[in-house]
C-alpha cells in the first residue's frame, strides 16, 4: 500500500514535467551577431521558430509566446535635483545594482493573459523584474525606477511590445525586435517562453553577440586596456586638430 501511495505521489509530481516536455520551442534568428561600426544606425532582428509537439494541440487553453531580449546589466545611480535657496542640488538618490542596458518584451497576447504573476516571479520576465537590488530612499525608489524606464523607453532601449508576436495555428511564430544605434557591446540574452493560461511550459534561451568592429573596436580596446596611451593619443589629436583649424583660419584671413 505504501509503495502504491509513493508511486502515485511520484506520478503526480512528474506530470508537470511531462507536460512541459510535450511542447518545446525550436527557434532561429536573422542575425547571430550585430556589428557596431562608425556608421551604425541601428538594426532589427527577426526572431522566428516553431513549437515541436509530442501530443495533439491542447484545445482547452490557447498557447502564448513571449520573447525577451536583454542586454548586459550595469549599475545605475539615479538622483533627483531640488532647488534650495535658488541653487539646484542633488537630494534624494537611489542605487540600482543591476539594470539592463537594453530590454525588450514581445508577446502574442496581452501581457497579463500571456504571463501570470507566479510565472513572472519565477522567471523574471517583465521589465520591473529585470532590476536588481534597488538601494537608497525607499520612499522614492518606485519613482526613480519609473524615471529610468521612461528615459530609456524614449531612447528605444526599453520596449514593451504586446501582441507583436505573430503566432499561427499555435505552431509557427515570428517577431521583430528593433535595436537602436546606442547599443552597449556585449552578449544579449534571448528567451522565448511558451505559456498556457499564463503558466510557463517551456523556455528556450540563446544569445546574440553585439560587438564593435573596425576603428570603433580598436578605440574601445585601447581605452580600456591602455587608458594612459589612449589619453595621450586623444590629447595629440586634439592639439593637431586645433593647430590645423588655426592655420586654416590664418590662410583664409590672409
In this prediction, residues 94-115 reach a mean pLDDT of 92
Backbone angles phi, psi at 34, to 5 degrees: -115, 125
pLDDT at 250: 77
Of the CA atoms within 13 Å of residue 110, those in its CB half-sphere come to 2
Name the region of 214 (left: φ>0; alpha: ψ -120 to 50; beta: rest).
left
Tell me how far apart the alpha carbons of residues 55 and 117 are, in angstroms, rounded to a whole number: 27
Q: Which residues partner with 84 through β-bridges? A: 87
Confidence at residue 216, expressed as pLDDT on a 0 to 100 scale: 58
Q: What is the mean pLDDT of the chain?
A: 81
Q: 95 pLDDT band (50/70/90 cuts)?
A: confident
Partners of residue 31 on adjacent β-strands: none
More confident of the two residues 155 and 62: 155
- Per-residue pLDDT tens digits for 230-245: 677 777 878 888 888 7
pLDDT (mean) for 170-183: 93
Give the cell for residue 167.
503566432
Q: Give 198's strand partners.
A: none
What is the structure's pLDDT at 88? Answer: 66
- Cβ within 8 Å of residue 212, ≥6 positions away: 35, 36, 37, 185, 220
Pick from 80-94, 136-150, 176-190, 227-241: least confident:
80-94
Q: Which residues pair with 189 in a beta bridge?
A: 70, 207
Q: What is the pLDDT of residue 18?
A: 39
Condensed to tens digits (0 to 9), the pLDDT of residues 107-137 reads 999 999 999 999 999 999 999 898 887 776 5
Q: What is the DSSP string of 81-135?
A: EEEETTEEEEEEEEEEEEEESSEEEEESS-HHHHS-HHHHHHH--SHHHH-EEEE
Which pLDDT score is estimated for 136? 61
Burial class (CB in 10 A: 0-12, 13-18, 19+), 217: middle
**Which position has the higher pLDDT, 193 or 227?**
193
State if pTM tops 0.85: no
Amino acid at each position: 500500500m505504501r509503495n502504491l501511495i509513493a508511486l502515485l505521489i511520484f506520478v503526480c509530481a512528474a506530470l508537470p514535467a511531462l507536460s512541459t516536455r510535450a511542447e518545446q520551442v525550436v527557434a532561429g534568428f536573422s542575425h547571430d551577431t550585430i556589428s557596431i561600426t562608425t556608421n551604425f544606425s541601428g538594426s532589427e532582428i527577426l526572431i522566428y521558430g516553431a513549437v515541436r509537439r509530442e501530443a495533439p494541440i491542447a484545445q482547452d487553453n490557447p498557447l502564448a509566446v513571449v520573447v525577451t531580449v536583454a542586454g548586459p546589466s550595469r549599475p545605475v545611480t539615479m538622483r533627483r535635483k531640488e532647488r534650495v535657496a535658488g541653487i539646484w542640488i542633488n537630494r534624494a538618490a537611489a542605487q540600482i545594482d543591476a539594470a539592463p542596458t537594453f530590454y525588450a518584451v514581445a508577446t502574442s497576447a496581452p501581457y497579463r493573459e500571456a504571463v501570470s504573476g507566479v510565472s513572472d516571479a519565477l522567471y523574471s520576465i517583465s521589465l520591473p523584474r529585470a532590476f536588481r537590488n534597488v538601494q537608497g530612499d525607499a520612499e522614492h525608489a518606485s519613482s526613480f525606477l519609473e524615471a529610468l524606464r521612461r528615459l530609456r523607453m524614449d531612447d528605444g532601449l526599453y520596449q514593451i511590445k504586446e501582441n507583436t508576436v505573430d503566432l499561427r495555428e499555435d505552431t509557427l511564430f515570428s517577431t521583430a525586435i528593433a535595436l537602436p544605434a546606442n547599443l552597449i557591446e556585449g552578449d544579449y540574452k534571448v528567451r522565448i517562453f511558451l505559456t498556457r493560461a499564463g503558466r510557463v511550459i517551456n523556455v528556450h534561451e540563446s544569445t546574440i553577440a553585439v560587438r564593435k568592429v573596425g576603428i570603433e573596436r580598436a578605440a574601445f580596446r585601447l581605452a580600456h586596456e591602455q587608458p594612459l596611451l589612449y589619453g595621450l593619443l586623444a590629447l595629440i589629436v586634439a592639439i593637431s586638430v586645433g593647430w590645423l583649424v588655426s592655420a586654416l583660419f590664418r590662410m583664409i584671413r590672409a
